[in-house]
Structure 1
Amino acid sequence: MAYLSSVLTRAPVDDVVAWGESIDHLLECKTGQLVFEDFLRTEYSEENLLFWLACENYKKITRVTEMTVAAKKIYAEFVQVDAPRQINIDCVTREEIMENLSQPEPNCFERAQRLIYSLMENDCYPRFLKSEMYQVLLEQA
């Protein structure tokens, strides 16, 4: 809980309240991302957020060589079977990404990112809102 106190000194009250309004508010806020990642770690599912954030950063890359390196890194870390932080996606999506790796484009991970976003929005996020971690932050705010 000491961590939560340090988070509160950085998180404006409005932000903490906004996190409860939508997952988008939570994900748009750097402190919100950190708190949500902490929560997901307690559920052994932080790979979902880390993958989503990696995809957001990937979409900002403009140089082809950087895009290729980043795409392979994301694939190795999150997508391939037995990846260290393997995300839970269907085999069709996994294969589609593998095929895109030869010539990666900005939307290479779009389908997988949508699936993971949906999983977080409908499964992880509601549990986060009910969690002691969020409730304590809300009370202190």
Structure 2
Amino acid sequence: MHELVPVGFVRTPIEDVVAWGESLDQLLECKTGRLVFEDFLRTEYSEENLLFWLACEDYKKTNNEKETTVAAKRIYAEFVRVDAPRQINIDCVTREEISENITQPEPNCFDRAQRLIYSLMENDSYPRFLKSEMYQALLEQAEQQ
């Protein structure tokens, strides 16, 4: 089992690539990991899931009311709305709940949808990513260093 890396300790590329295989969280915590995962998702035409999840993470960090409203409407228009350009696959109840609250968005208005998308990535896309030629090639390359 890979141990947690102490603060201030710089991991080598091999440790990063190996860590990505341990959990989706480990993969998403690493900027390079996110980029590689996004590339993989693009090959499966499902990068909107990761982009939505990341947008929600940024949204939660917004603490100015005006910025929160603008960010919420952008996320809604890009990912949630029925005809959104990068429409995510969520149930109609969750979509409707967000639609009803988008005029006065709360900090947690996307939480349910974000959990659904995380679960979809964790149980569907992530296992395929680990088996993909893309990840296997990186792992092999890293192990040769």
- After TM superposition, the score normalised by the length of structure 1 is 0.91
Q: Distance in 1 between matches of 2:141 and 2:121?
A: 25
User: How far off its partner does 1:14 sit?
Assistant: 0.5
Residue of structure 1 in register with 2:71 after alignment:
70
Unaligned segments of structure 1, at least 5 residues: 1-10
Residue of structure 1 in register with 2:47 after alignment:
46
Between Structure 1 and Structure 2, whose CA radius of gyration is higher?
A: 2
Paired residues in the alignment total: 131
Q: Distance in 1 between matches of 2:14 and 2:83?
A: 40
Q: Is the helix fraction higher in 1 or 2?
A: 1
Higher mean Cα deviation, 55-64 or 95-104? 95-104
- 5 Å-filtered alignment, 1:1-141, equals 12-141=13-142
Q: Distance in 2 between matches of 1:59 and 1:13?
A: 31
User: How far off its partner does 1:98 sit?
Assistant: 0.8
Q: Distance in 2 between matches of 1:102 and 1:81?
A: 17
User: How far off its partner does 1:52 sit?
Assistant: 0.2
- After TM superposition, the score normalised by the length of structure 2 is 0.89
* Greater than 6 Å deviation, 4+ residue runs: none
Amino acid at match of 2:22: E
What SS is found at the alignment partner of 1:59? helix
Unaligned segments of structure 2, at least 5 residues: 1-11
Q: Distance in 2 between matches of 1:84 and 1:92?
A: 20
